[in-house]
Amino acid sequence: MYNLEFCYDRVRIERFNFGFTLGVNYIGNDIQMAGFAHGLCAELFLLQWFSIYSCGKLSNINGLPVHQFEVKGKYHHKKLFLSAGYEYLKIATPNYHFLSVGGGIYL
């Protein structure tokens, strides 16, 4: 599963962010279809360089629901971040549990 999304933090205070995401997700393998995705996200900054991030997303692909939930720790350095955590996916009927690692750039 691949996600391309725009994230907007609607509430931003010193130690907490809350916002929403809009975008698309794509499921490869045998399905090979994309769909519109939306969700809610929150981030709590425990230290200046470390935060806990959580996000729940919903989409509909080929008439079937796709649910995605993730919780991860993020290490921040300037405009970059590295992350590691847990991800839950429900694609139609099957459920999947993953450990995730990633990174990103703040624009």
| Predicted pLDDT of residue 59 | 94
Q: Which residues of the chain have pLDDT under 50?
A: none
CA angle 24, 4, 68 (to 5 degrees): 70
| Predicted pLDDT of residue 92 | 86
| Predicted pLDDT of residue 3 | 87
Task: Tokens 């139609």: give the residue.
Answer: 92
| Predicted pLDDT of residue 46 | 95
| Predicted pLDDT of residue 31 | 80
Strand partners, 102: 83
Domain boundaries, the chain: 2-105
Closest CA to 60 of 28, 93, 89, 34: 34
